Amino acid sequence: MTEPVAIPKFVADHMLGSLARWLRMMGYDTVYDKDLDDGEIAKLARGESRFILTRDKELAKEPGALLLEHEDLDSQLKAVGTKFGLRYNDNQIRCSACNGELQDLPKDQAKESVPEGALNNNDRFWKCSKCGKVYWKGTHWRGIMERFQRLSLV
């Protein structure tokens, strides 16, 4: 019997905020706090079994660190996706703002938090269990999915 494969978790350094948001949208637990220094990032990674994503050559010497040499988001997403075998997971999407877990939000409860057009054009809504932000798959979602498909992350 094979062991289940652990889903990788990440901590991104202060230069990778956009990457962290996109990994969260893919469904991956990704800590990002621009105020953490290298030592705090390394300690967090060890304590929570996270891989470090960094653009810093010194921090990249930490066990489990991946040095991302490209500045553009597509190259970074592709590099992390390839290294860790990542795929978009619709059931694990996290809050792009704070990394909290998203919980289903009934449509009748979402009406107080979303524009009327979003309410009329969507049946599913989610609310972050941590910061309370409400999400739905609006018109921007097509562009998000196109990026994931273009990078072979779906």
Q: Ranked by mean pLDDT, which of 1-10, 96-105, 136-145 comes out on top? A: 96-105
Q: What is the pLDDT of residue 3?
A: 56
pLDDT at 105 over 80: yes
List, for residues 15-51, the tens digit of each pLDDT value. 999 999 999 999 999 999 999 999 999 999 999 999 9
Give me the amino acid identity at 129.
S
Cα–Cα dist 64/10, whole Å? 10
Domain ranges of the chain: 10-84, 102-150
Q: What is the pLDDT of residue 71?
A: 95
Mean pLDDT of the chain: 94
Q: What is the pLDDT of residue 4?
A: 60
pLDDT at 1 over 70: no
Q: What is the pLDDT of residue 61?
A: 97
- Spell out the residues 6+ positions from residue 73 whose beta carbon is closer than 8 angstroms to its own: 18, 19, 22
Average pLDDT over residues 54-59: 97
